[in-house]
Amino acid sequence: MRKLINAPADVVADALRGLAAAHPALRVDPDERTVVRADAPRPGKVALVSGGGSGHEPLHGGFVGPGMLDAAVPGEVFTSPVPDQILAATMAVQGGAGVLHIVKNYTGDVLNFRMAAELAEDEGIEVVPVIVNDDVAVEDSTFTAGRRGTGATLFVEKIAGALAEEGAGLAAVAAVAREVNERSRSFGVALSPCTVPAAGRPTFELGEDEIELGIGIHGEPGRERVPAMPAAEVVDAALTAIDADMPLAGSELLVLVNGMGGTPLIEQYIAYAAVSDWLTAHGATAARPLVGPYVTSLEMAGCMISVCRLTPELTRLWDAPVETPGLRWGR
C-alpha cells in the first residue's frame, strides 16, 4: 500500500490537522470532527451543512467558506459521519434561519443525517434535507438504494450556497438545491481501483488493459468492465449514458470533468477536449466548464463527467463569488 500517511487509523485526524493548519479561515474541531466557517454562526443566514465519508477531498471540507458550505462533517474513509457529529456541526452554524443538509444518496449518510435532523429539531432548529442522486450509472449499488450522489454534489453546494449567502430563506435555498440535483447527471470511469487505508487492499481488481464504466466514488461496482479505450470513446460512453437519461441537445451546461484522485490534470484536459467535441456535435453548449479533481475517490485513476442544465438564474448563482480552499473566484 503506497500511501503518504502515518497510520491507517490516523488518516482522517491527520488530514483534518493539515486542513486546519493550511486554512486559518476554517475552524476545525478535531474532537467533534467538524469543519466550520470561522465567522459562523451568521445570524439570519440559512446555514448549509454537508458531509460524508472521507477520501473525496476537497469534497466536503474544502468547500466550506463564503458562498458555499457553512460546515462539513467528515466520516472515516468511505464511511458516513455519525449523527452526533452532524448535530454538532448543525448547532455550530445555525443562525436562526434554518439549516440545509446536503446529503449524498448513500444509505448510511441518509440515515445519519436524518437522525441528526431529528435531534436538531428537538433543539428547535429547522432542518431541511436535500438528497443528491445524480449518478446515472446504476439504479442501486453496494451502498445505495436508488442512484448514488457523486459529482453534482459540488454543483448543489455551490449554487445553494450562493443563494443562502444572498439572504434567501430556507425554502428557497432548498428548492434551488433540489432543482440543481434534478437538472444534473454524472457518469464515472475507473482506470484503476483505490485502497482504503484500513483495509490495505484494493477495492476491486482490474486487468492491465481493463477499465470499469459507471464506477462510483467508493470503488463500488459500475456498469461493466470493458477493454481499455481511447479517451474520446470513454467520454462518448459517459455522455451517451447521461444523454439517454437526460437529453442534452439544446442545453446550456455546467460541465465538470472531474479527476478521481490518481489521474493527472493533463489527462483531465484531454478528456475535456473530447467532452467539448461531443457536446458541440450533439447540439449542447458547455457554458461553464470546470476541470480538476473536485470529488475524488482516494488515489483511483479515472474521471467522472457531471453536467447540470443551467438556467439564467442557476448560471448567475454559479458565477457568484466563492471563497473556499477547493473552489474560489471573485467577481
Nearer to a second copy, 62 or 222 (CB): 62
Nearer to a second copy, 104 or 147 (CB): 104
Cα–Cα distance measured from residue 217 to residue 137, given in angstroms and rounded to the nearest whole number: 12
**Residues 286-305 vs a second copy: string with x where CB under 8 A?**
x--xxx-x--x-xx-xxx--
CB of 260 to a second copy, least distance (A): 9
Nearer to a second copy, 44 or 283 (CB): 283
Should residue 5 be labelled a site residue for a second copy when binding is judged by CB under 8 A?
yes
Which SS3 state, helix, strand or coil, does residue 97 take? coil
Nearer to a second copy, 177 or 300 (CB): 300
CB of 303 to a second copy, least distance (A): 6
Nearer to a second copy, 162 or 291 (CB): 291
Stretch that binds a second copy, among 8-16, 165-173, 243-251, 311-319 (CB under 8 A): 8-16
Tell me which residue of 164, 214, 189, 179 sits closest to 308, measured CA to CA.
179
Among 167, 247, 250, 264, binds a second copy (CB under 8 A): 264
CB of 69 to a second copy, least distance (A): 16
Among 55, 75, 83, 161, binds a second copy (CB under 8 A): 55
Among 34, 50, 54, 203, binds a second copy (CB under 8 A): 54
Nearer to a second copy, 55 or 149 (CB): 55
CA distance from start to end of the chain? 43
Known active-site residue 56: yes
Among 41, 52, 62, 65, binds a second copy (CB under 8 A): 62
Cα–Cα distance measured from residue 263 to residue 286, given in angstroms and rounded to the nearest whole number: 22
Should residue 124 be labelled a site residue for a second copy when binding is judged by CB under 8 A?
no
Q: How many helices (H) and strands (E) does the chain have?
A: 8, 14
Cα–Cα distance measured from residue 89 to residue 252, given in angstroms and rounded to the nearest whole number: 35
Tell me which residue of 254, 252, 253, 266 sits closest to 303, measured CA to CA.
266
Concatenating the DSSP letter of every residue in 219-249 gives S---SEEEE---HHHHHHHHHHHHHHHS--T
Whether 50 and 28 have beta carbons less than 8 Å apart is answered as: no
Should residue 228 be labelled a site residue for a second copy when binding is judged by CB under 8 A?
yes
Number of residues that bind a second copy (CB under 8 A): 62
The grid cell for 137 is: 450509472
Should residue 249 be labelled a site residue for a second copy when binding is judged by CB under 8 A?
no
Q: How far is CA 47 from CA 16, 315, 325, in A?
A: 21, 21, 18
Stretch that binds a second copy, among 55-63, 89-97, 135-143, 245-253 (CB under 8 A): 55-63
The grid cell for 78 is: 468511505
Known active-site residue 23: no
Residue 245 burial by CB count (10 A; 0-12/13-18/19+): exposed, middle or buried? middle
Residues 6+ apart with CB under 8 A from 143: 106, 107, 108, 216, 218, 220
Which SS3 state, helix, strand or coil, does residue 132 take? strand
CB of 128 to a second copy, least distance (A): 30
Residues 6+ apart with CB under 8 A from 2: none
Task: Catalytic residue, from 23, 56, 60, 101: name it.
Answer: 56
- Interacting residues with a second copy (CB under 8 A): 2-7, 11, 14-19, 21-23, 54-55, 57-58, 62, 189, 191-192, 208, 211, 228, 230-232, 234, 261-274, 276, 286, 289-291, 293, 296, 298-299, 301-303, 321, 325, 328-330
Catalytic residues: 56, 218
